[in-house]
């Protein structure tokens, strides 16, 4: 069983999806700690209700990003965390943090990276007139929304979409994708080769997986 | 019937796909002229064999890009061309050309723009560890591989892919996608609103179209 830590800043809907998947036994891991940088993050109560230890480390109490990150790293280590999942954590990670958990920090981003990094992602996709978007789970390196890609999922963009409808469609796949990627990590099926993550998954299984990572209707 | 001109520099496999689709009556258009900037482009013979007028305008005979493009624009106009399709045309278009056929020049690019513009596209997608790529038909503006997107199609990238296998998978969708986009243009179902192309396609049809633009196996 891997020990996972989850970082949130708000509701943490992807945190809930990961906790649920662990509870259902779909991921060989348990969540040792949820940390929020905001005391009023609604996700704290959701984690606590599931019996997961929670901690608030307010970034405003630290003078620098490095000082804040050092506190977070210490707390994660004390809880025995091996893999860190960012779930709507609205903070850039300093090199201190990235190096402390090198190739063991996962993030999910609601676009097909390298397209549309950063904020206002759906707005960017709509403005670009993209006909497809999706979401990406990747290992975190020292650039924003960057690092070896583990899995991606695809959704179509329809002519009448706005940011809200597109966000909703992508979020439906995010929960599934993030759990699938964390499972691969915890099963030790991810290695990093330069800028790429190599998945130890048989071709047939990968092909099925890829097909399953394409949106197939609102009923999904 | 719209009058279409096609520009090539080599074999022009997308040119052949468009000519075939016109011959089958799938696009309300006829090809009035194929122009190559290279005298030895194999696509010239393929077009001529279908009874399509061809012309070589060697870019090396012009001192500047603008001078060359002016000759091409004149030839297209004299042939009555209304819509221009680039099919492996290895030349950047000058503003002279883009303005002469504003919002009436189509290009196809083997990636999901804005991801991976430029050359060595499959290499870039593989190096980025992207799990999906595809192709894009767009209207040409004055930037490289840029302009309002008409249609995109999606293919998965498999762990054992190389540039050649990925190119082949994408090319299989390109021919279908380019013909579908040119059909929409010729049917007058494309308008441009700022940076976006708006398609006059009923939602249900668009949804079906999008589903059809996802790769569904090598047998396709």
pLDDT at A215: 81
Residues A95 and A125 grouped into a single domain: no
**The pair of three-digit structure tokens given for residue A176, joined into one six-digit string:** 């599934």
Residue in the block written with tokens 């991606």: A152
**The pair of three-digit structure tokens given for residue B130, joined into one six-digit string:** 């992207």
C-alpha to C-alpha distance for A137 and A182, rounded to whole angstroms? 9
Domain end call among A49, A71, A101:
A101
Residues A182 and A198 grouped into a single domain: yes
Residues B183 and B91 grouped into a single domain: no
- Parent domain of B79: 1-101
B127 touching chain A per CB within 8 A: yes
pLDDT at A218: 57
User: Taking CB atoms and an 8 Å limit, are A207 and B156 in contact across chains?
Assistant: yes
A43 touching chain B per CB within 8 A: no
- Name chain A contacts of B165, Cβ cutoff 8 Å: none
- Name chain A contacts of B113, Cβ cutoff 8 Å: 128, 130
pLDDT at A220: 37
Residue B3 has a CB neighbour count (10 Å cut-off) of 16
Residues A116 and A212 grouped into a single domain: yes
pLDDT digits (tens, 9 = 90+) for B68-124: 999 999 999 999 999 999 999 999 999 999 999 999 999 999 999 999 999 999 999
Domain end call among A45, A72, A101:
A101
Residues B118 and B198 grouped into a single domain: yes
DSSP code of B55? E
Residues A114 and A180 grouped into a single domain: yes
Residue B64 has a CB neighbour count (10 Å cut-off) of 11
Domain end call among A101, A128, A146:
A101
Residues A94 and A138 grouped into a single domain: no
By Cβ distance, the residue of B148, B199, B216 closest to A159 is: B199
pLDDT at A206: 85
Residues B113 and B214 grouped into a single domain: yes
pLDDT at B220: 37
A154 touching chain B per CB within 8 A: yes
Residues B122 and B96 grouped into a single domain: no
C-alpha to C-alpha distance for A187 and A166, rounded to whole angstroms? 32
Residues B94 and B116 grouped into a single domain: no
C-alpha to C-alpha distance for A125 and A147, rounded to whole angstroms? 20
By Cβ distance, the residue of B116, B131, B151 closest to A151 is: B131
Query: Which residues, 6+ apart, have CB-to-CB distance to A96 below 8 Å?
Result: A66, A69, A70, A73
User: Taking CB atoms and an 8 Å limit, are A148 and B159 in contact across chains?
Assistant: no
User: Taking CB atoms and an 8 Å limit, are B112 and A130 in contact across chains?
Assistant: yes
pLDDT digits (tens, 9 = 90+) for B39-80: 999 999 999 999 999 999 999 999 999 999 999 999 999 999
Helix (H) or strand (E) holding B186: helix B163-186
- The size of chain B, in residues, is 220
Residue B169 has a CB neighbour count (10 Å cut-off) of 21
B55 touching chain A per CB within 8 A: no
Residues A113 and A176 grouped into a single domain: yes
Mean pLDDT, 10 residues at a time, chain A of 220 residues:
97 96 97 98 97 97 96 98 97 95 97 96 96 97 92 93 96 93 97 93 84 69
C-alpha to C-alpha distance for B56 and B37, rounded to whole angstroms? 6
Optimal mutation site among B129, B146, B180, interface A, most CBs of chain A within 10 A = B129
- Name chain A contacts of B158, Cβ cutoff 8 Å: 203, 206-207, 210
pLDDT at B172: 87
B191 touching chain A per CB within 8 A: no
pLDDT at A82: 98
Mind telling me the catalytic residues of A?
Answer: 109
User: How far from A194 is each of A99, A106, A198, B128, B131, CA to CA, in Å?
Assistant: 15, 17, 10, 10, 16
| Residue B214 pLDDT level (bands cut at 50, 70, 90) | confident
What is the rounded average pLDDT for all residues in chain B?
94
Helix (H) or strand (E) holding A130: none
- Closest chain B C-alpha to A12 CA, distance in angstroms: 25
Q: Is the dihedral of CA B44, B45, B47, B53 positive or negative?
A: positive
Residues B8 and B40 grouped into a single domain: yes
By Cβ distance, the residue of B149, B158, B216 closest to A203 is: B158
Number of domains in chain A: 2
Residue B171 belongs to domain with CATH number: 3.40.50.170
């Amino acid at each position: 069983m891997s020990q996972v830590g989850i970082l949130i800043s708000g509701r943490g809907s992807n945190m809930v999806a990961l906790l649920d998947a662990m509870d259902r036994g779909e991921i060989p891991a348990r969540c040792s700690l949820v940390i929020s940088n905001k005391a009023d993050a609604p996700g704290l109560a959701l984690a606590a209700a599931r019996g997961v230890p929670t901690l608030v480390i307010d970034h405003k109490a630290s003078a620098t990003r490095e000082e804040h990150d050092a506190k977070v790293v210490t707390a994660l280590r004390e809880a025995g965390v091996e893999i860190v999942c960012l779930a709507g954590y609205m903070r850039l990670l300093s090199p201190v943090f990235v190096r402390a958990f090198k190739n063991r920090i996962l993030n999910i981003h609601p676009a097909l990276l390298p397209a549309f990094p950063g904020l206002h992602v759906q707005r960017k996709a709509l403005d670009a007139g993209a006909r497809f978007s999706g979401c990406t789970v990747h290992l975190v390196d020292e650039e924003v929304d960057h690092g070896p890609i583990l899995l991606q999922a695809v959704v179509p963009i329809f002519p009448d979409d706005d940011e809200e409808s597109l966000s909703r469609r992508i979020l439906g796949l995010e929960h599934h994708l993030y759990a699938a990627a964390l499972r691969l990590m915890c099963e030790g099926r991810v290695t990093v080769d330069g800028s790429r993550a190599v998945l130890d998954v048989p071709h047939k299984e990968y092909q099925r997986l890829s097909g399953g990572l394409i949106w197939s209707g609102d009923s999904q």
